[in-house]
Amino acid sequence: MNSEQLSDLIVAALEDVKAQNIVRLDVRDMTTVTDFMIVASGTSNRHVKALVDNVAEKAREAGRKPIGIEGEEGGEWVLLDLEDALVHVMLPKVREFYNLEKLWSFGGKSSSAAADH
């Protein structure tokens, strides 16, 4: 599974559990840390955790074990590291404050994941 296929799997897993405002950022030209960053919102701390859990489960089923998961305790912003893709799931107020899409889309290619499907 290449990084683009992984990003498709992540978006589908987020859509399965009703993530909001999913954005996929292609950061291959900007960093060597990862190929894609996927940012999504959940409606509550519990929803954020459920979204990340579903992505991690689908990735494991596809043979991609998460390198790490950070922020699950609070549930306001959870980061899931799948090496070729980083998944940020946040509450809307946290997402608005940090505005990762603007930070990482400068010079990169960004797309609304909903438009890709």
First vs last C-alpha separation in the chain? 18
Domain of residue 42, CATH code: 3.30.460.10
Output the pLDDT for position 75. 86
Q: What number of other Cβ atoms are within 10 A of residue 116's Cβ?
A: 11
What is the domain count for the chain?
1
Helix axes 45-61, 3-16, angle to 10 degrees: 140
Task: State which residues of the chain have pLDDT below 70.
Answer: 105-117
> Structural domain of residue 68, as residue ranges?
3-116
Rounded Cα distance between 27 and 57, Å, is 24
